[in-house]
């Protein structure tokens, strides 16, 4: 088991500095343009692919870092560059993880490479779970998958929403209901191959922040996919559903808590994204405070500004430590007995909102204009308390874990 350390090793530092250089030299100069255009920044993704940043191999290396710090370190540096562009770069990873976690070796080898393409022909993938009436309440999902045994095909119908890369993806991973009576345990994941009839893009959302990341509805109308596109296979699904039925009879609450625990492990990565955005805003505010003069002296000479910056930096460092702890625990197999994954995501996302707002305040009127990046960072930060489980859901998970009670 890897020993916990507060110091990154030489290899991690090298990767961090490499990512930071890409974020500073490639992402940041393009951030304002793609935010205004509200389009997927294909040239930046292609550049990331050429350098090896946008690739399965790179993310696999970071995922299997024995300290658990590879992924949060990567997320922090890319999102320090710009949240919208960074999400366009890492968004495919959501779908890839879905296949890696649930798919067979053959499915992984077949579909994950098609999600990324190559440097000359870049592709993206989409993970489709949320629905208009089923965001945090996953048990209310309505998209159905019905098995046509005669043709060995699954037929998917429904509408997904808030899908990163939805509709423009080469490969879509869709979560659908196969047994409505089992709630969230009656769900399964499916691969929808490229150019499958019946899948279309619905509304593309014009968002408050992360505008360079494509977010849209995905409409599924009698989408027929081969039986082998069920992640994990039919036999494994039937066995899992049978176990879920037995457990539901024994105690449905225990089954639901086990499902919630599964989501815990992915939340520190979102916390790391928030840390990156918060850090970027803090650095902009600090530099501005040291160079902006009022009444004959830099504004950082005023306690009202200096103390804000002190609090901002303290909160950012605390958030990073919570993210690192949860990431290390997940990698080393330690259970989240106090919902440490949700703690990290909750604190980091709330920190990002607060720190970016303070940065705007320190820059004053300039901070309210698009001439300075803190305005964009403040808009981007709003998403962290919403996606991958709202702050309210994180508090609910934490409270339930600590109390052992089904708090509602």
Please identify, among 216, 249, 282, the residue that sits at the C-terminal boundary of a domain.
Answer: 249
Say whether both 204 and 296 belong to one domain.
Answer: no
- Of 245 and 197, more confident: 197
212 within a domain of the structure (yes/no): yes
Residue 125 binned pLDDT confidence (cut-offs 50, 70, 90): very high
Q: Which two tokens stand for residue 385?
A: 């308390």
3-state DSSP assignment of residue 239:
helix
pLDDT of residue 134: 76
Among residues 176, 39, 29, 159, the alpha carbon closest in space to that of 98 is found at 176
Instruction: For residues 318-337, give the mean pLDDT.
Output: 95
Query: How sure is the predictor about 224, in pLDDT bands with cuts at 50, 70 and 90?
Result: very high
Does residue 3 lie in a domain region? no
Examine the fold and report which residue of 71, 100, 122 is the final residue of a domain before the chain moves on. 122
Domain extent for 242: 125-249
pLDDT at 375 over 70: yes
Is pLDDT above 50 for 82? yes
pLDDT of residue 37: 98
Separation CA 302–CA 103 (nearest Å) = 57
Residue 296 in any domain: the answer is yes
Of the pLDDT bands very low, low, confident and very high (cuts 50, 70, 90), residue 137 is confident
Mean pLDDT of 377-389: 96
Whether the predicted pLDDT of 261 surpasses 50 = no
Whether 116 and 226 share a structural domain:
no
Number of domains in the chain: 3
Q: What is the mean pLDDT of residues 28-49?
A: 98
Which of the four pLDDT bands, split at 50, 70 and 90, describes residue 38? very high
Residues 312 and 197 in one domain: no
Give the C-alpha separation, 45 to 55, whole Å. Answer: 10
The residues that bridge with 293 in the sheet, in sequence order, are: 298
**So what's the pLDDT on residue 260?**
41
Instruction: Check whether 256 has a pLDDT greater than 60.
Output: no
Q: Is the pLDDT of residue 217 over 60?
A: yes
Residue 237 host element (H or E): helix 234-264
The pLDDT of residue 255: 41
Which among 281, 154, 259, 169 is positioned nearest to 214, based on CA atoms? 169
The pLDDT assigned to 295 comes to 94
Same domain for 189 and 178?
yes
Q: Is the pLDDT of residue 3 over 80?
A: no
CATH number, domain at 222? Answer: 2.40.110.10
Q: How far apart are CA 34 and CA 154, in angstroms?
A: 38
In this prediction, residue 101 carries a pLDDT of: 86
Q: Provide the token pair at 156.
A: 């998917």
| Residue 213: both structure tokens together | 């990341």
- Going by pLDDT thresholds of 50, 70 and 90, the confidence category of residue 258 is very low
> What mean pLDDT do residues 193-204 have?
98
Residues 23-32 have a mean pLDDT of 98
Residue 268 and residue 379 share a domain:
yes
pTM: 0.94
CATH assignment of the domain containing 15: 1.10.540.10
Q: Does residue 5 form part of some domain? A: no
Task: Tell me, yes or no, whether 207 and 141 share the same domain.
Answer: yes
pLDDT band at 135 (very low <50, low <70, confident <90, very high): confident
Across the range 129-151, mean pLDDT stands at 88
Tell me: do 163 and 81 sit in the same domain.
Answer: no
Percent of the chain scored above 70 by pLDDT?
95
Same-domain check for residues 130 and 107:
no
**219 is a domain residue:** yes
For residue 290, the domain's CATH number is 1.20.140.10
Q: What pLDDT, in 10s, does the model give residues 281-320?
A: 999 999 999 999 999 999 999 999 999 999 999 999 999 9
Residue 255 inside a domain? The answer is: no
Q: Given 218, 249, 280, which residue is the final one in a domain? A: 249
Average pLDDT of 203-211?
A: 98
φ/ψ of 66, rounded to 5, equals -65, -15
Residues composing the chain: 408
pLDDT > 80? residue 391? yes
Q: What is the pLDDT of residue 49?
A: 98
In this prediction, residues 78-93 reach a mean pLDDT of 97
Same domain membership, residue 387 and residue 275: yes
Whether pLDDT at 406 is above 80: yes
Task: Map residue 232 onto helix, strand or coil.
Answer: coil
- Domain assignment present for 202: yes
Residues assigned a catalytic role: 388
Residue 109 CB-half CA count within 13 A:
3
Check whether 266 has a pLDDT greater than 80.
no
Q: Tell me what the pLDDT averaged over the chain comes to.
A: 93
Give residue 24's pLDDT: 98
331 and 346 in a single domain? The answer is yes
Bridge partners (DSSP) of residue 189 are: 175
Is residue 293 assigned to a domain?
A: yes
251 versus 361: which is more confidently predicted?
361
Same domain, 313 and 393: yes
Full DSSP string of 72-85: HHHHHHHHHH-HHH
Q: Would you place residue 1 in the very low, low, confident or very high pLDDT band (cuts 50, 70, 90)?
A: low
Residues 395 and 270 in one domain: yes
């Amino acid at each position: 088991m890897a020993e916990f350390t507060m110091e990154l090793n030489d290899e991690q530092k090298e990767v961090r500095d490499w990512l930071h250089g890409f974020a500073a030299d490639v992402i940041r100069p393009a951030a304002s343009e793609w935010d205004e255009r509200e389009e997927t920044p294909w040239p930046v993704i292609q550049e990331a692919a050429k350098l090896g940043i946008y690739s399965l191999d790179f993310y696999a290396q970071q995922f299997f870092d024995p300290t658990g710090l590879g992924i949060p370190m990567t997320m922090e540096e890319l999102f320090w560059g710009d949240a919208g562009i960074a999400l366009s770069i890492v968004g495919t990873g959501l779908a890839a993880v879905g296949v890696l976690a649930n798919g067979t070796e053959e499915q992984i080898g077949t579909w994950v490479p098609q999600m990324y393409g190559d440097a000359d022909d870049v592709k993206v993938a989409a993970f489709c779970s949320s629905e208009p009436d089923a965001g945090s309440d996953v048990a209310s999902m309505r998209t159905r998958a019905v098995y046509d045994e005669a043709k060995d095909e699954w037929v998917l119908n429904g509408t997904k929403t808030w899908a990163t890369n939805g509709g423009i993806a080469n490969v879509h991973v869709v979560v659908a209901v196969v047994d409505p009576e089992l709630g969230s345990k009656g769900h399964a994941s499916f691969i929808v191959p490229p150019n499958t009839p019946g899948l279309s893009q619905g509304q593309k959302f014009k968002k408050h922040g992360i505008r360079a990341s494509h977010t849209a509805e995905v409409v599924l109308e009698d989408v027929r996919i081969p039986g082998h596109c069920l992640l994990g296979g039919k036999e494994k699904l039937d066995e899992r559903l049978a176990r879920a039925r037995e457990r539901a009879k024994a105690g449905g609450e225990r089954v639901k808590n086990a499902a919630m625990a599964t989501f815990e492990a992915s939340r520190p990565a979102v916390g790391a994204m928030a840390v990156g955005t918060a850090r970027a805003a803090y650095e902009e505010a600090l530099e501005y405070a040291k160079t902006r003069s009022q009444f004959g002296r830099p504004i950082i000479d005023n306690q009202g500004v200096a103390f804000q910056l002190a609090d901002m930096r303290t909160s950012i460092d605390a958030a990073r430590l919570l993210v690192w702890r949860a990431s290390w625990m997940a990698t080393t197999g330690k259970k989240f007995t106090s919902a440490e994954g949700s703690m990290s995501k909750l604190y980091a996302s709330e920190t990002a909102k607060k720190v970016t707002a303070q940065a705007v305040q320190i820059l004053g009127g300039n901070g309210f204009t698009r001439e300075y990046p803190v305005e964009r960072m403040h808009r981007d930060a709003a998403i962290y308390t919403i996606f991958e489980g709202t702050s309210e859901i994180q508090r609910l998970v934490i409270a339930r874990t600590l109390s052992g009670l089904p708090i509602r």
